[in-house]
Amino acid sequence: MRNLFAALVSVSLFSSAWAQEPPSSDAPTYAPPAHSAGDVPTPGTVLATAPTSELLASLALLPTMPVFSRSTIALEVVNAASGERLYAWGDDRMMLPASTQKLVTSAVALRTLGPAYRFPTWIKVDAPPAPDGILEGNLYVVGQGDPTMSVERIWRIVADIRHKGIVEIKGDVVYDDSYMSGPGVWIPGWDKADDLESGETYYSALGALSVNENIAAIHVRPGATVGSAGVASFDAPSDAVVLDNQLTTGRAKSKYWAKIERTLDEKTSRIATYKLTGNVPLDLDITTRPLYRTLADPTGNYVSIFRDMLKSQGVKVRGKHRVATASAESTLLVKSESERLSDILTDMNKRSNNFIAEQVLRTVAAEKLGLPGTTENGVKLMSEYMASLGVATDRYRFVNGSGLARGSSLAPSALDAMLVDMYGNVDVGPEYLTTLSVGGRDGTLASRFRDDGMEGRVRAKTGSLAGVFCLAGYVTALDGTNYAFTFLVNDLEGSTARARVAHDRLVRSLAGVTGNLAEAGDGGAD
């Protein structure tokens, strides 16, 4: 993004604009630059480029757009380098931020853990294996909340155990998930009964030992003849999931449809049964995507997959597979690490992944405040970070790390303060910027800002819930000025099109491009 990293080599200080009172009415306001031509700037301060009259006139027209009269709006634009306010609307009111809250989670994670942090999974033993490959004691699998653990990586871990010479474990295989509270904790702050019942993938269970984002993938294909049962199978079978397949094979060119009903066992609410009904055409496209639903028992699923992987690679276990805390005297046998945190946050923000956000926040809490890692402690650290920026406590309220909550609220000034801070952070700012979706190129902005010279000019995070549609991030103007902006829309009825067009109008105005404003599509859900 042109010139977006230019100010990262200097220290960004908040200007007097941050100390001003929010607007007293819904009239657009402009706070003039804090420095006049005769001022001597404080060393390290980056002065704002004075906005053109055309830009101010364009911003002044924003409130004439339909969404302003039919929804609740709060927005603010500041100079990303200096923090000087350019434009504001909505009395800096507290609003539901939806997934734009992931911007704060990302900032706290990078500042606390560092971009190079990797989530480890430890394989430990009571004693080294004997020359004949027999392990007399226990083998311990210790998880630390890796949100990217996959079945393929578990295969690699077990292969590494095998390469250490172990062919038989006389003791138990002990699974330690004590790093985080739980297991099987659902995302705090989201109590929509339908989601808990149906197992929608944006509402995963959390746990220190998780695999495949705690989502079950079900592959579907037709049977041999019309009228026969359709074929369904799990991508990764385990004791935590049960398949009730009632699919029927339909004639060629018939409509493909499938319905999933997920139920949890009444005694423990751990084992998930998926009942499939529907029609699978005889000529179903082989590229048809699997069906996805969340599972309820992360640790139980992990144990089952790990157990079966040991068996498939010829490692015999004489003892039990059980969940407990690893022995303090155990020693390291194998260590598996995730990709760098900066890469994981990139995946999180561009896909707007709730599971990753919650696992990351709980990890930050564990590393900073001690075990077990909890959402509550993560929220405490997010609040402390905002307070360190000088943001008043009545300008933010966090419930979790993903923004999937009706109880979370943020004022535009709070998000903008954080965006300015990260823009000027020489240690983690560059990595932070790369985690955001790039307009016209990738993530949830892949289908927006593609034409009129807008591609690559905006890096931002989208956020949506029912009645909520938000956008926050950075945009580069034609003159090289970089702006940070937060545009929150709540109480939105019907289509999100009105809010999307208003978002686009703001971003294009800041960029100095005012072409087609009626672009369709947002490139993904969040």
| Cβ–Cβ under 8 Å, residues 32 and 49 | no
Using CB atoms within 10 Å of the CB of residue 267, give its burial: 0 to 12 exposed, 13 to 18 middle, 19+ buried: exposed
| Cβ–Cβ under 8 Å, residues 444 and 459 | no
Give CA 503 to chain center in angstroms: 21
Place of tokens 């989670």: 105
Distance between CA 283 and CA 249 in Å, rounded?
Answer: 10
SS3 311: helix
- The structure tokens listed for 487 are 């545009």
pLDDT value of residue 42: 31
| Cβ–Cβ under 8 Å, residues 457 and 449 | yes
Greatest pairwise CA separation for the chain in angstroms: 85
| Cβ–Cβ under 8 Å, residues 125 and 138 | yes
- The 8-class DSSP code of residue 362 comes to H
- Written in H, E and C, the secondary structure of 459-476 is EEEEEEECCEEEEEEEEE
User: φ and ψ at 306, to 5 degrees?
Assistant: -65, -40
Angle at 427 between CA 422 and CA 430, to 5 degrees: 60
Residue 376, amino acid: E
- The structure tokens listed for 261 are 């009903």
Using CB atoms within 10 Å of the CB of residue 468, give its burial: 0 to 12 exposed, 13 to 18 middle, 19+ buried: buried
Distance between CA 59 and CA 87 in Å, rounded?
Answer: 8
Q: CB 429: neighbour CB atoms within 10 A?
A: 21
Distance between CA 19 and CA 32 in Å, rounded?
Answer: 13
- The full length of the chain comes to 526
Distance between CA 181 and CA 134 in Å, rounded?
Answer: 34
Using CB atoms within 10 Å of the CB of residue 9, give its burial: 0 to 12 exposed, 13 to 18 middle, 19+ buried: exposed
Q: For residue 295, which of 154, 189, 198 has the smallest C-alpha distance?
A: 198
| Cβ–Cβ under 8 Å, residues 29 and 88 | yes
| Cβ–Cβ under 8 Å, residues 484 and 449 | no
- The structure tokens listed for 483 are 């702006």
User: φ and ψ at 64, to 5 degrees?
Assistant: -80, -10
Q: What residue ranges define each of the domains in the chain, with the CATH number in brackets?
A: 50-115+341-511 (3.40.710.10), 213-294 (no CATH)
SS3 499: helix
Burial 167-205 (b: 16+ CB within 10 A, else e): ebbebbbbbbbbbbbbbbbbbbbbeeeebbeebebbbbb
> Global pTM?
0.88
Distance between CA 440 and CA 437 in Å, rounded?
Answer: 9
Give CA 260 to chain center in angstroms: 25
- The 8-class DSSP code of residue 344 comes to H
Distance between CA 344 and CA 435 in Å, rounded?
Answer: 9
| Inter-residue long-range contacts of 18-27, CB under 8 Å, 24+ positions, other chains counted | 18/83, 18/85, 18/390, 18/413, 18/417, 20/85, 22/88, 22/91, 22/92, 22/411, 22/413, 23/88, 23/89, 23/90, 23/91, 23/92, 24/91, 25/91, 26/63, 26/89, 26/90, 26/91
Q: What is the DSSP string of 70-128?
A: HSEEEEEEEETTT--EEEEESTT--B--GGGGHHHHHHHHHHHH-TT---EEEEEESSP
Cβ partners under 8 Å of residue 59, min gap 6: 28, 77, 86, 87, 506, 509
- The 8-class DSSP code of residue 273 comes to E
pLDDT value of residue 7: 38
User: φ and ψ at 100, to 5 degrees?
Assistant: -65, -15
One digit per residue, the tens of pLDDT, for the chain of length 526 reads 544 544 333 323 222 222 222 232 333 333 333 322 233 323 333 334 578 888 999 999 999 999 999 999 999 999 999 999 999 999 999 999 999 999 999 999 999 999 999 999 999 999 999 999 999 999 999 999 999 999 999 999 999 999 999 999 999 999 999 999 987 789 999 988 888 788 999 999 999 999 999 999 999 999 999 999 999 999 999 999 999 999 999 999 999 999 999 999 988 889 999 999 999 999 999 899 999 999 999 999 999 999 999 999 999 999 999 999 999 999 999 999 999 999 999 999 999 999 999 999 999 999 999 999 999 999 999 999 999 999 999 999 999 999 999 999 999 999 999 999 999 999 999 999 999 999 999 999 999 999 888 999 999 999 999 999 999 999 999 999 999 999 999 999 999 999 999 999 999 999 998 654 443 333 333 5
pLDDT value of residue 526: 52
What dihedral do alpha carbons 96, 509, 423, 117 form, nearest 10°? Answer: 60
- Return the CA Rg of the chain: 26
Place of tokens 């599509």: 521
- The 8-class DSSP code of residue 520 comes to -
Distance between CA 469 and CA 497 in Å, rounded?
Answer: 10
Q: For residue 471, which of 423, 504, 509 has the smallest C-alpha distance?
A: 504
Distance between CA 49 and CA 392 in Å, rounded?
Answer: 27
